[in-house]
Chains A and B, each alone.
Chain A
Amino acid sequence: NAGVTQTPKFQVLKTGQSMTLQCAQDMNHNSMYWYRQDPGMGLRLIYYSASEGTTDKGEVPNGYNVSRLNKREFSLRLESAAPSQTSVYFCASRTTGGGNQPQHFGDGTRLSIL
């Protein structure tokens, strides 16, 4: 049982390049999330998908797009990367059964944009 798997683990891009970050979960969770984590700060929500077929903006959505490909997979796309998007990106998932439940995280993608 792998939990939440993110690929790639590391990536270096040039300004203006595009990139898709992949996330897959094997826990049959309904909701999935994308966060970014910058030094000295907590995690900030970029986009989320409450259930398959829906996506919504979080706190910092500008410059990103997402696709909920199926129940397992939720991808994050940078269409034209900017240095301000250098960060560590985390994907999370959560079951929606049984009231409030915690989100479970992958180990992140470390993205540097030059």
Chain B
Amino acid sequence: GESVGLHLPTLSVQEGDNSIINCAYSNSASDYFIWYKQESGKGPQFIIDIRSNMDKRQGQRVTVLLNKTVKHLSLQIAATQPGDSAVYFCAETSSWNAGNMLTFGGGTRLMVKP
């Protein structure tokens, strides 16, 4: 089946720098996308979401960009802090998807150097 794909890299950034985490998806029917943050020993924590009728959405220090043409999603974290160190997952679903089943990518580990 189609799936959201993420390589599983480790992104290392300096504290205070901006971070960009990328995600490619393959299901052209997907119309709702979510970014989750997972800290060690914890469950995924909702960060921000975006619907397919938008290209950009901003939250507190985070921005999600959606490029439907190339099926690409990114999460930008401004002024990265040590507390941002975690694994980040993108997830996608379709309004036609019974039960709103999410398909998750494999995750990207963000490491923030003090």
In the complex, which residues 40-70 of chain A have their Cβ closer than 8 Å to any Cβ of chain B? 40-45, 48, 50, 56, 58-59
Q: Contact at A31–B8, with CB atoms within 8 Å?
A: no
Cβ contacts A to B, 22 pairs, < 8 Å = A31-B99, A40-B106, A42-B6, A42-B105, A42-B107, A43-B89, A43-B102, A43-B104, A48-B99, A50-B100, A56-B98, A58-B101, A90-B43, A99-B51, A100-B49, A100-B51, A102-B34, A104-B46, A105-B36, A105-B43, A107-B41, A108-B42
Q: Contact at B104–A100, with CB atoms within 8 Å?
A: no
Count the B residues whose beta carbon is within 8 Å of the partner chain — how many?
A: 29
Q: Contact at A42–B104, with CB atoms within 8 Å?
A: yes
Q: Contact at A100–B98, with CB atoms within 8 Å?
A: no
Q: How far is the CB of B18 from chain A (nearest CB, A)?
A: 24
Q: Specify the chain B residue showing the minimal Cβ separation from A47.
A: B99
- Would you call A4 an interface residue if the criterion is a C-beta within 8 Å of the partner chain's C-beta atoms? yes
Total number of residue pairs linking A and B with CB closer than 8 Å: 66
In the complex, which residues 42-84 of chain B have their Cβ closer than 8 Å to any Cβ of chain A? 42-46, 49, 51
Residues of chain B touching chain A, judged by Cβ–Cβ distance below 8 Å, are 1, 4, 6, 8, 31-32, 34, 36, 41-46, 49, 51, 89, 91, 93, 95, 98-102, 104-107
Q: Contact at B95–A100, with CB atoms within 8 Å?
A: yes
From B1, B31, B44, contact of A43 by CB (8 A): B44
Count the A residues whose beta carbon is within 8 Å of the partner chain — how many?
A: 28
- Would you call A18 an interface residue if the criterion is a C-beta within 8 Å of the partner chain's C-beta atoms? no
Q: Contact at B42–A45, with CB atoms within 8 Å?
A: no
> CA–CA, A59 to B1, complex, Å?
10
Q: Contact at A56–B45, with CB atoms within 8 Å?
A: no
> CA–CA, A22 to B41, complex, Å?
18
Q: Which residues of chain A are near B99, meaning CB under 8 Å? A: 31, 33, 48, 50, 56
